[in-house]
């Protein structure tokens, strides 16, 4: 192994010598004297002027702060050029030069993602109280901490999560009762349910802004909730995440600028809160975030929210109007169920997904314009919205879920746009629909899609009679309807 490394090093030295020479030829006077050990530079520079940044101007490197791998540190320019590449110099487990921590070895791993990455699955032979999870193992990134990986480990006191980890699995640190400190880097996007739950000594959580998917009860029954310094105006912030609130919040509440995520249940049952103003920095409102805020009337989402979680505004029965921001891409399941006064909804310009039951049973909702971007309407999304009389379908709509408009008996007309592929089972069952315009792109009409629509007097289909026959759909309740108008003539109903 050692001999192999020597050979590789020698080769690298040769290569970088060649490339340094090339750089000098290109007239760059900014070369660091310390970058002779740098392969990346070689990859990015060509003899005919690789330092050129594309618009013809000379580029002088702008180096970053220290970047660390498990073994080395260096500065890097956005062109890829590295300088001051060197091994860490650890003292008491911390590099005296770059401040990075010496990684812990001996964990158990399994290969994931077609063998390209590792998941850490257990403590293995490690008996240290401080865990510094590596970035890599055998040249492959360690990207996940598996479920139950450190479950019930009562020994560990500090955890530094590796900078390639993007997911911390369910129950990963459940009942690590001695754990006091956790550092979660920017790479972590997902914290699964109960990941740090019951770590009762945990009071110091340093969490970067990368988390987009914040599970349920991630920090439940930990010491964080008792840290008075983390509470501001009745809201518990851990980093830029809203973790919990006092249930006696009154009137209109403003979440501070910089906040990224309202975590699950954070405002649940704030029964005296009447308004919520969310900052533009916010990207996600998680599941059950405002569940049962029974006096909540005003909701200002800010301009950055991308997703609203399942049951997030469930039973907020005083909300009358909702304006979604143009940033919003997804509305979760049952998000507005039980908002019985909700009458007006404005969909932004980026919404793609309306999940199952999102607006189920909103009896006062009279119209909805689905804008231009909505691609799918989930099962039961507008189930029994009995006042709904006008729906403007989006240009991008591909699929309408089961029972999506079931029982919308004031809905008379449905003008679908080209591009629609599927109308699912019972989608418009027992609705008031009388005229139906179906585009030629349609490939499937589910069983009972228009069952009990006794008022249907006209059905037009943009495709051919043969295409229509292929649907095999015949369940028309109306005696008035005698034929389907297809592009090449009438399909006569028997």
Closest separation between CB of residue 145 and Zn ion, Å?
24
68 vs 388 by CB, closer to Zn ion = 68
Minimum CB–partner distance for residue 96 and Zn ion (Å): 8
132: contact with Zn ion by CB under 5 A: no
User: For residues 101 and 384, which CB has a smaller minimum distance to Zn ion in the complex?
Assistant: 101
**Coil, strand, or helix at residue 148?**
coil
Pairing of strands 353-354, 376-377: parallel
- Alpha-carbon span 163 to 119, nearest angstrom: 13
State the nearest-atom distance from the C-beta of 8 to Zn ion, in Å: 21
Print the binding letters for residues 8-47 with Zn ion: x by CB under 5 A, - otherwise. Answer: ----------------------------------------
Residue 68 CB, shortest distance to Zn ion, in Å, is 6
φ, ψ at 107 (rounded to 5°): -70, 165
By beta-carbon proximity to Zn ion, the closer residue of 52 and 204 is 52
Cβ 105 to Zn ion shortest distance, Å? 17
Q: Smallest distance from the beta carbon of 159 to Zn ion, in angstroms? A: 20
Structure tokens at 338: 């039980």
What is the number of alpha carbons within 13 Å of residue 248 lying toward its C-beta? 0
User: Does residue number 73 form part of the binding site for Zn ion (CB under 5 A)?
Assistant: yes
Taking CB under 5 A as the binding criterion, the range among 9-17, 22-30, 83-91, 214-222 that sits at the site for Zn ion is 83-91
Give the span between the Cα atoms of 133 and 145, in whole angstroms. Answer: 9
Q: Is 142 in the site for Zn ion (CB under 5 A)?
A: no
Q: How far apart are CA 42 and CA 474, in angstroms?
A: 68
What is the SS3 assignment for 91?
strand
Q: Is 12 exposed, middle or buried (0-12, 13-18, 19+ CB in 10 A)?
A: middle
SS3 138: coil
- Judged by CB under 5 A, the number of residues near Zn ion is 10
Is 61 near Zn ion (CB under 5 A)?
yes
Looking at the Cβ atoms of 55 and 114, the one nearer to Zn ion is 55
Residue labelled with tokens 């592009």: 487
Token readout for 215 is: 């599970």
**Quick one: which of 22, 23, 76, 77 contacts Zn ion (CB under 5 A)?**
77
Q: Which of residues 96 and 410 has its CB atom nearest to Zn ion in the complex?
A: 96
Stretch that binds Zn ion, among 8-16, 89-97, 350-358, 420-428 (CB under 5 A): 89-97
Token pair 């006191």 in the structure block, residue: 157
- Residue 95 binds to Zn ion (criterion: CB under 5 A): yes
Phi, psi of 110 (to 5 degrees): -135, 150
130 burial level (CB within 10 Å; 0-12, 13-18, 19+) = middle
Q: Which residues contact 453 (CB under 8 A, 6 or more apart)?
A: 428, 429, 430, 431, 432, 433, 476, 477, 478
Q: Minimum CB separation from Zn ion for residue 92, in Å?
A: 13
Nearest distance from C-beta of residue 44 to Zn ion, angstroms: 8
Taking a C-beta distance cutoff of 8 angstroms, is the pair 74, 60 a contact?
Answer: no
| DSSP-derived pairing of the beta strands 213-214 and 136-137 | unpaired
Nearer to Zn ion, 68 or 406 (CB): 68
Least separation in angstroms between residue 71's CB and Zn ion is: 9
Residues sharing a CB contact under 8 Å with residue 357, sequence separation 6 or more, in sequence order: 333, 334, 337, 378, 379, 380, 381, 383
Helix or strand or coil: residue 25?
helix
Quick check: 79 binds Zn ion (CB under 5 A)?
yes
Minimum CB distance to Zn ion, residue 98 (Å): 3
> What are the tokens at 167?
């997911």
Measured from the CB atom, is 16 or 434 closer to Zn ion? 16
Binding span for Zn ion by CB under 5 A among 14-22, 37-45, 86-94, 324-332: 86-94
Output the six-digit token pair for 431.
């609705």
Q: Check binding of 82 to Zn ion (CB under 5 A).
A: no
Segment 97 to 116, residues that bind Zn ion, using CB under 5 A? 97-98, 100
Binding piece for Zn ion, criterion CB under 5 A, among 87-95, 137-145, 148-156, 323-331: 87-95
Q: Which is nearer to Zn ion, 59 or 198 (CB)?
A: 59
Alpha carbons 165 and 134: distance in angstroms, whole number:
9
Residues 6+ apart with CB under 8 A from 57: none
Which stretch in 73-81, 281-289, 316-324, 462-470 sits in contact with Zn ion by CB under 5 A?
A: 73-81
Neighbour-count burial of 314, counting CB atoms closer than 10 A to its CB (0-12 exposed, 13-18 middle, 19+ buried): buried
Instruction: Using the minimum distance from each CB to Zn ion, give the nearer residue, 72 or 204.
Output: 72
Q: Which stretch binds Zn ion (CB under 5 A): 74-82, 255-263, 292-300, 391-399?
A: 74-82
The one segment of 68-76, 118-126, 327-335, 352-360 that binds Zn ion by CB under 5 A: 68-76
Q: Which window, 91-99, 233-241, 252-260, 372-380, contacts Zn ion (CB under 5 A)?
A: 91-99
Residue ranges binding Zn ion (CB under 5 A): 61, 73, 77, 79, 81, 88, 95, 97-98, 100
């Amino acid at each position: 192994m050692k001999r192999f490394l020597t050979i590789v090093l020698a080769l690298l030295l040769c290569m970088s010598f060649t490339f340094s020479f090339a750089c000098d030829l290109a007239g760059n006077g900014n070369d660091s004297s310390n970058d002779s050990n740098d392969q990346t530079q070689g990859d990015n520079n060509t003899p005919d002027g690789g330092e050129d940044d594309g618009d013809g101007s000379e580029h002088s490197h702008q180096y970053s702060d220290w970047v660390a791998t498990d073994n080395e540190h260096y500065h890097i320019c956005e062109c890829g050029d590295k300088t001051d590449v060197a091994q860490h110099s650890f003292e008491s487990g911390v590099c005296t030069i770059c401040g990075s921590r010496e990684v812990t070895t001996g964990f158990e791993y399994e290969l994931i993602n077609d063998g390209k990455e590792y998941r850490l699955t257990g403590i293995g032979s490690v008996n240290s109280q401080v865990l510094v999870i590596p970035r890599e193992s055998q040249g492959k990134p360690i990207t996940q901490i598996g479920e139950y990986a450190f479950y019930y480990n009562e020994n560990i006191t500090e955890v530094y999560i590796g900078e390639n980890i993007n997911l911390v699995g369910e129950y990963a640190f459940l009942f690590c009762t001695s754990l006091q400190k956790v550092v979660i880097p920017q790479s972590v996007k997902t914290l699964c349910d109960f990941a740090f739950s019951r770590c009762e000594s945990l009071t110091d959580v340093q969490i970067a802004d990368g988390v987009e998917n914040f599970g349920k009860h991630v920090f439940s029954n930990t010491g964080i909730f008792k840290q008075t310094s983390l509470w501001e105006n009745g809201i518990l912030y851990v980093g830029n995440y809203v973790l919990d609130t006092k249930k006696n919040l009154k009137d209109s509440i403003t979440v501070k600028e910089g906040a990224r995520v309202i975590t699950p249940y954070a405002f649940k049952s704030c029964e005296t809160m009447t308004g919520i103003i969310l900052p533009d920095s916010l990207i996600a409102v998680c599941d059950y975030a405002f569940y049962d805020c029974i006096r909540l009337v005003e909701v200002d989402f800010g301009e950055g929210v991308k997703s609203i979680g399942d049951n997030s505004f469930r039973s907020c029965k005083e909300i009358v109007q909702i304006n979604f921001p143009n940033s919003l891409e997804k509305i979760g399941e049952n998000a507005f169920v039980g908002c019985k006064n909700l009458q007006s909804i404005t969909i932004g310009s980026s919404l793609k997904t309306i999940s199952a039951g999102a607006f189920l049973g909103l009896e006062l909702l009279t119209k909805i314009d689905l804008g231009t971007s909505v691609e799918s309407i989930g099962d039961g999304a507008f189930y029994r919205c009995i006042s709904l009389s006008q729906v403007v379908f989006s240009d991008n709509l591909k699929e309408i879920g089961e029972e999506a408009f079931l029982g919308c008996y004031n809905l008379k007309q449905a003008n679908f746009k080209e591009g629609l592929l599927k109308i699912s089972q019972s989608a418009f069952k027992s609705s008031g629909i009388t005229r139906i315009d179906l585009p030629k792109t349609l490939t499937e009409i589910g069983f009972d899609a228009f069952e009990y629509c006794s008022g249907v007097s006209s059905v037009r289909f943009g495709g051919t009679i043969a295409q229509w026959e292929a649907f095999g759909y015949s369940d028309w309740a109306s005696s008035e309807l005698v034929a389907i108008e297809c592009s090449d003539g009438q399909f006569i109903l028997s």
